[in-house]
Amino acid sequence: MVISVRTYEQIALEDGDAVWELAGGVLRQKPGMTYEHNEAMTALAWQFMAQFDQREFTVRVNASRLHIESTGSYYVPDLFVIPRRLAERVRDARPQRLEVYDEPLPLVVEVWSRSTGD
């Protein structure tokens, strides 16, 4: 069943126990991850945060969404880097709404996992 973006955002904000994505209008729950997957994602985040000027960049780990306009999809990457000015613009433009980025970002990472390798 295809759902609207508005419905997706409402579900994603209200269901705090799950991480939801919208793939071509179809709602899907992001699966749970293994310890190894989470450890790799966290270690990578620490590496980036140690190298970046926090006034210029911020890092999201399995949080926030990327909107792919051409498909209407919303994904939650394992990790991505956001220029601080863009993060602040999203914060100011979307108070009390789902954190979503529409613009290209300098780095987006998906950690491969045996549990989700397919």
The tens digit of pLDDT for each residue in 45-70 reads: 999 999 999 999 999 999 999 999 99
Question: Which CATH code of 3.40.190.10, 3.10.20.30, 2.115.10.20, 3.90.1570.10 fits the domain covering 33-116?
Answer: 3.90.1570.10
DSSP 3-state percent helix, strand, coil across the chain (nearest 5): 35, 25, 40
**Long-range contacts of residues 23-26, Cβ cutoff 8 Å, at least 24 apart:** 23/71, 23/73, 23/75, 24/71, 24/72, 24/73, 25/72, 26/1, 26/2
Q: In what order do the strands lie in the sheet with 65-68?
A: 26-29, 20-23, 73-75, 65-68, 100-101
| Confidence at residue 96, expressed as pLDDT on a 0 to 100 scale | 87
* pLDDT of 32 over the 90 cut: no
Percent of the chain surpassing pLDDT 90: 84
DSSP letter for 115, please: G
